A and B are shown apart, each in its own frame.
Chain A
Amino acid sequence: MEQERTKRVYDLHAWTGVVCGLFIYVVSLSGVFALFGDELRTWEEQETRIAVARETAPVMPLLSAFVAETTKKGRLLDLSLNLPTGPEPFYLATALVKTADGPVITEEQRWHPNAGTVLPLRTKGLSYWIVDFHRNLMLDRTLGRFLVALSGIVLLVLIVSGLVMHRKIFQEIFTWRLSRSIRLKWQDSHKTIAVWGLPCHLMFAFTGAWLGLVIIFVPITAMISFKGDTGALIEAVLGPQPQPTGISARMFSIDEARDRAYVHVGIRPDSVSISLWGDEKAKYRFRYPPSRALISHAWIDISATTGRIIDARLTDKPGLTFRVNPAMTTLHYGQFGGLWIKFLYVVLGISLCLITATGLMIWLERRLQGSDARVFIRALSRTTVGVCAGMGLASFAIFFADKLLPDSAQNRISVIGITYFGVWAAAVLYALLRRNEYRTCKELFAATAVLAAGLPALNYIVTGDHVLSLLRAGHGYAAGVDIAGIATGIVLLLASIWIPADRLTRYADCKPVAAKRP
């Protein structure tokens, strides 16, 4: 490749990385936490630490009463019921209702799986923030998802340009010169981690971009192909939606239908959506989490008036095309292989954060060591450390904010938001005032380690449950959060000890050198 082109691609890689690197870091690290949005729920809310009995309470009378109450407010548009599972061990009914005044409202009700008593709803908190910050950056859904998708597009550009630019990247896959200059250390780390994680990072970037862009792509394609009729587009993809016959019919018991579905498939369903409640054509669609399959749900349709099994499928239509869409979310969030896949995703997600951070450090190191190291570059270096190390600190701080608030708190999400951005901003400010990136990083890592390792203590003080009692009672997810907190705390503490307190100058080639192109 001609030298001028290499330089151009290098500049594209460097400047795109510098301008968007921190944003990609934020999306990647928030994604690591978002992987465990479901698993966090029983840790977050003590009320839901329930050992589900083999024989659960019948849900049909509860659901019928809920529907009767809900339809007093307006027309029922959609009804679904989440069945008790490990992360969510309770019944949760959700209804979309079009009120007489016009607006569509969401009604929710939870019940204890064994007793059938009402479980009070808790306002959105920790797990909601963690998942929504990664998905939408807590912005409007369309704008937020689009921005997150942009980070995926930029990451794809960075991966392609990085591969084209470093022609010997695969030959140097085992080259990791940690005892040489600081810049070389960053450079080797950046390249080696990037090559080892390449297929997965490409997948994260592409599926992330797709999940975000589909939200703007659907209306645009609807505009082009269906003259703006989004409903026609959805119908073309998903098939015709069932229409009511207008003939009322008595609903078949959902508990009995669930048993029939279980006998037919051999796996317990995790949710059911109910269409056309009370109509002759009413239908239960039981959904299953298919293990080890790249698909979001398998389902079985049962007539809600006769109890007859209508259909059992993996996707709306057969063929590869119709397996692609449902596979995207499953692939992006590692939902296809149990907790071990999620732990692998954590390692890969953190490696993506490291690639971004080392990329920024290479760029900064080159400029910091030049004779023209300006105040702006120094401030940028400190800000980078503050943003990167401070985000972890903020992420663990909100565990404390959520847990220390009473369950009845109505402003939970605001308090979490203020804590998150407050701690993060304080970390950046601290990094700017500390004037030593190494010490800042060391200290912020140590503070994060204390918060992470303190999660079991916090849980014990607030709820009275400790790891062993949680494990004995069968609350594996809540115990898992405590254990993960301790493990993260140890890793961060070791990292904090390992990071030098000051810039190492004992290597000969650490002295200012003229910047060279790779």
Chain B
Amino acid sequence: MRLLSALILAPVASMLLASAFIVLAPGDVPARLIWAGILFPLLWPLLFFFSYWPKRPLGPVLGLTAASLLSGAVVFLT
């Protein structure tokens, strides 16, 4: 379960979170794109690590799925 979170859900969530950042962050588009590009390789290892942090293995699955869904909604609905 944790391996699934680390290998699949973490990269997807980090990509969607970075994309949501482009949509939501203030400032002009080029600046947002540049900071999102920096955010992505920072988020990925942190979320990978997060998959092994909570006591219950279901925690990271739910957390990362929720983050992905929320970011996806922001990206595709706004």
Contacts and interface: CB of A to CB of B under 8 A. Distances in A.
Interface of A: 2, 4-5, 8-9, 11-12, 149, 152-154, 156-157, 160-161, 164, 206, 209-210, 213-214, 217-218, 220-221, 224-225, 233, 236-237, 317, 319, 321-322, 324-325
Contacts of B52: 8-9, 11-12, 161
Contacts, number: 84
Top 7 A-B pairs, shortest CB-CB distance: A156-B45, A209-B41, A321-B31, A237-B30, A12-B52, A157-B45, A224-B19
19 contacts: A5-B53, A8-B52, A12-B52, A160-B45, A161-B49, A164-B49, A210-B37, A210-B41, A213-B41, A217-B40, A218-B37, A221-B33, A225-B19, A225-B33, A236-B30, A319-B31, A321-B34, A322-B30, A324-B38
B49 A157 contact: yes
A153 B41 contact: yes
A317 B30 contact: yes
Interface of B: 15, 18-19, 22-23, 29-31, 33-38, 40-42, 44-46, 48-49, 52-53, 55, 75
Contacts of A157: 45, 48-49
Tell me the dominant secondary structure on chain B's binding face: helix
A321 B41 contact: no
A236 B75 contact: no
B3 to A, nearest CB: 10
B29 to A, nearest CB: 5
Given A152-B41, A157-B48, A210-B41, A220 B34 contact: no
Contacts of A236: 29-30, 33
Nearest to B27: A321
A217 B45 contact: no
B41 A206 contact: yes
B38 A225 contact: no
A39 B8 CA distance: 41
Contacts of B53: 5, 9
Contacts of A210: 37-38, 41
B47 to A, nearest CB: 10
A237 B33 contact: yes
A224 B32 CA distance: 13
Which of B23, B49, B53, B55 has the largest count of A CB atoms less than 10 A from its CB?
B49
Which of B37, B41, B46 has the largest count of A CB atoms less than 10 A from its CB?
B41
B30 A214 contact: no
Contacts of A8: 52
Contact of B55 (A4, A12, A149, A221): A4
Contacts of B34: 237, 321-322, 324-325
Nearest to B22: A225
A8 B75 CA distance: 34
B40 A213 contact: yes
Contact of A217 (B18, B29, B49): B18
Given A11-B52, A160-B45, A317-B30, 18 more contacts: A2-B55, A12-B49, A149-B41, A154-B45, A160-B46, A206-B42, A209-B44, A210-B38, A214-B37, A218-B37, A221-B33, A221-B36, A224-B75, A225-B19, A225-B33, A236-B30, A321-B34, A322-B34
